[in-house]
Amino acid sequence: MITTTIFPGRYVQGPNAIQLLGEELARLGKKALLLEDPFAAKALKQDIEKGLGGKLQCHIEVFEGECCDEEIDRLSATQGIDVVAGIGGGKTLDTAKAVAHKLNVPVAIIPTLASTDAPCSALSVIYTKSGEFSRYLVLPQNPNLVLVDSAIIAKAPARFLVSGMGDALATWFEAQSCSVTHASNMTGRLGSATALGLARMCFETLLEYGPQAKVACEAQITSAALERVIEANTLLSGLGFESAGLAAAHAIHNGLTVLEATHAYWHGEKVAFGTLTSLVLTDKAPDVIDTVFGFCESVGLPTTLAEIGLDKVSDADLMKAAQAATATGETIHNEAGTVTPETVFNAMKAADAIGRDRKTWL
């Protein structure tokens, strides 16, 4: 068997790491397109300018809100660029990766949130202009640089960190499913034992340090626990999902995006509910289900449909989500056995019932 494991070229993390921005970007090119989300463009302007230190030329653009083909085309029209740097949240970063791919130049990723596992991956999730999932854009290589300033992440609302934990929570269970069924990872080949081990380490880190990390983030301070969870959300989860594979949790997330009421909720929040659904769908042991529900409750991740905007969802609309989650080519088919819209619908209803029941005795 041939296995394939892929990694970013360079990963830098720590308090005030943005001070190294110019030094690190200068390794990759002489003129950078800086794609900044609105928060970074406003709140981090001075930090970015100081970090760049005049070490290379920069053309700055502000991200317009959706990682879609229209935005990628707009930014790709920029002339004379030899490196793209994305600074911001997950969709900004995915857009930067897609633009760099289109321009055939290196890409640097500077997340201001630890809210998804997007930064390290050779993947962009493309949405429609209105926010519905469209497709995965699989890129030929991982980012050349991922630079994570934990002091910036600590100052963001804790909800973003918790959302990243929700995204990372899926990593081990999806990796495990792909390992059992010999399903391919994001490269189209089998995942490695290294990737599976990193996915498990990601899960164990979340369970051990997640609640402490949330407390530190709420206090807007860095701590050893926060550093570990930032690394789990960003590096371990990124390596785990990409090199070990995706399965039900992310497919259920994709299905949920067809329901407009979920659009106000973060990727990781919907993935967390997808993970809980997947545990029911794949008949995990009661103690595993109890552990994962308990973790979600301890950090504030959704455990019911109501907590992702679906308190009044009809069975007909929930079935639409189940049908989208089981579309041809979706990663849910990496699970063992035959998965149908009906089984996913039932698992979503069951996970919701468990979550609601637990709230009555917490």
Residues designated as active site: 167, 250, 253, 267
90 known member of a binding site:
yes
Pairing of the two strands 11-14 and 123-127: unpaired
Q: Residue 78 burial (CB < 10 Å; 0-12/13-18/19+)?
A: middle
Q: Which residue has the tokens 């920069």?
A: 58
150 known member of a binding site:
no
DSSP structural state of residue 190: B
3-state helix, strand, coil in the chain (%, to 5): 55, 15, 30
Structure tokens at 55: 């070490």
State the alpha helices, DSSP H only, in 182-284: 193-218, 224-231, 237-244, 248-256, 267-281
30 known member of a binding site:
no
> Which strands make up the sheet holding 107-111, listed edge to edge?
11-14, 145-149, 107-111, 83-88, 31-36, 57-62
118 known member of a binding site:
no
115 known member of a binding site:
yes
DSSP SS3 for 289: helix
Residues 6+ apart with CB under 8 A from 107: 83, 84, 85, 86, 96, 97, 99, 100, 101, 143, 144, 145
276 known member of a binding site:
no
182 known member of a binding site:
no
92 known member of a binding site:
yes
Q: Residue 10 burial (CB < 10 Å; 0-12/13-18/19+)?
A: middle
69 known member of a binding site:
no
123 known member of a binding site:
yes
112 known member of a binding site:
yes
Give strand pairing partners of 125: 136
117 known member of a binding site:
yes
93 known member of a binding site:
yes
113 known member of a binding site:
yes
Q: Residue 213 burial (CB < 10 Å; 0-12/13-18/19+)?
A: buried
Burial 328-360 (b: 16+ CB within 10 A, else e): eebbbbbbeeebebebbbebbbebbebbeebee
41 known member of a binding site:
no
What's the CA angle centered on 200, arms 219 and 256, to 5 degrees?
Answer: 75
Structure tokens at 245: 């594979």
* 36 within 8 A of 60, measured Cβ to Cβ: yes
Give strand pairing partners of 31: 57
> Which residue positions form the known binding site for glycerol?
117, 167, 250, 267
List, as residue ranges, the binding site. Answer: 37, 90-94, 112-115, 117, 121, 123, 127, 167, 250, 267
- Numbered residues of the known binding site for NAD(+): 37, 90-94, 112-115, 121, 123, 127
